[in-house]
Amino acid sequence: MRRYWATFTKVLMGMLERPMWLMLLVSLCIMSTVYVHRTVWDLPVAVVDQDHSPASRLLIRNLDATSKISMRSYDSLDEAIHDLGWRKLFAVIIMPTDLEKKLLSGKAVTIPVYGDATNRLANGQIQQDVVAAYKEMLNHYDVALMLGSGFSERQAMVILSPIVGQAVDVFNPGISFAAIVFPGLLVMLLQHSLMIASVRVSIVLRAQGKPPLPVYLGGLSALLPIWLFLSIVLFVLWPWVLGYRQTASIPEILLLTFPFLLAVLGLGKLLTECLRSVEMIYLTLSFITMPVFYLSGTIWPLQAMPDWVRMVSSFLPSTWATKAIAGVNQMGLSWHLALHDILILLLLGAFYAALGVGVGLVRDSARLRMLLRRK
């Protein structure tokens, strides 16, 4: 136990004295600078008012009051579409002529919206706000018409909303996580950085001679406090800064992250024993990071992959971590329902660690036999 704590303290203090792991946060800050000019809260949207009626002005005020849209008034549609093409705008909304007259006469009204569909995050947020603002305007005019016809305000509300609905978050695994790129990207950053750190620690310990098990475990477990701290920054602080929806508490995030880190450490053990070279390991990690990102279900739903590809994906810790963390923190899934993913991560960690130990024993015995033959 003394060797374990001595190695744990030495590696942990070494990581804190030379905090190269903070490069992960620097990388995350650089990635997030794309939101500085056009933030995810005030997306610039053009409005071309061709009606100039109380109805069009009400709809514009409702849109401008939303948290995601910042309205920009344009007199010319061609100018607005030009700015949309040059990415100065994310959408163009047109208030058509006779908007209020058609509403009052009960005719169908179409609100043309030109959106920049190349940006799914901004496009989806603008679409939701436009629909909500339009429904609010229709409700205002419906109530006004019914009050003018002799209905009371209570009667009007009962007719317009006969059923009081309540929205409940439902976890839907059928959609998978093709639309939730951000959590998957954070999982990949955490996995890649911890893999490099664990391999580096393993190689340093092996360079000093074959380390005893307590020493080896102490060196690797010293990485856990740092990467648990990083997980709080990545999965709690950063989504809050960028305005992403999150439903999990810090203890729940740690509960999901801890088995994921153990699985990555096990995979790092296997990778170290297979390659045993810093250059080869760094080169391998550089090439496999992007394929692993695609196979994790972040870019394309797992359900749409071929069976053999899904089998390969199921052996990656990032696949189960993305599913669990995105499900609990973004889609409202209870952490109790993520226990299956946690169990699989623990099994993967034990499997890779045992496989790495087996590969190490085979390679060491083969090397020992070669040395004996030379003698």
248, 40 Cβ separation under 8 angstroms: no
Residue 220: closest CA among 232, 236, 238, 204: 204
Chain centroid, CA 209 distance in Å: 41
Residue 287: closest CA among 304, 271, 308: 271
pTM over 0.75: no
Chain centroid, CA 180 distance in Å: 5
Using one digit for the tens of pLDDT, what is the confidence trace for 278-304?
677 777 777 777 788 778 777 777 777
What local confidence, expressed as pLDDT, does residue 183 receive? 78
For residue 211, which amino acid is it? P
Distance CA 323, CA 306 (A): 18
Domain with CATH 3.40.1710.10 in the chain: 38-160
DSSP secondary-structure letter at 118? T
Residues in contact with 357: Cβ distance below 8 Å, sequence separation at least 6, in sequence order: 269, 273
Chain centroid, CA 184 distance in Å: 5
Using one digit for the tens of pLDDT, what is the confidence trace for 13-47?
887 777 777 777 887 777 777 665 555 667 889 99
What local confidence, expressed as pLDDT, does residue 177 receive? 41
Instruction: Tell me the H-state helices in the chain.
Output: 2-17, 23-32, 34-37, 54-64, 77-85, 99-105, 120-148, 153-160, 181-207, 213-221, 223-232, 238-242, 250-275, 278-295, 307-313, 317-329, 339-374
Please give the chain's pLDDT, 375 residues, in tens. Answer: 777 888 888 888 887 777 777 777 887 777 777 665 555 667 889 999 999 898 888 888 888 888 778 889 999 889 998 888 887 888 898 998 888 888 778 777 888 888 776 666 667 677 777 877 877 887 877 787 788 878 887 777 767 666 555 555 554 444 344 446 777 788 888 888 888 888 888 888 877 777 777 887 888 888 999 899 989 888 888 777 766 667 788 898 999 999 999 999 998 888 888 877 767 777 777 777 778 877 877 777 777 788 888 888 889 898 889 888 888 887 777 888 889 999 999 999 999 989 988 887 887 776 656 655 655
- Percent of the chain scored above 70 by pLDDT? 85
Using one digit for the tens of pLDDT, what is the confidence trace for 320-358?
898 888 888 877 778 888 899 999 999 999 999 899 888
Beta bridge partners of 114: 92
Please say whether the structural domain 38-160 has been given the CATH code 3.40.1710.10: yes
Q: In the chain, what are the helix, strand and coil shares in percent, each to the nearest 5?
A: 70, 5, 25
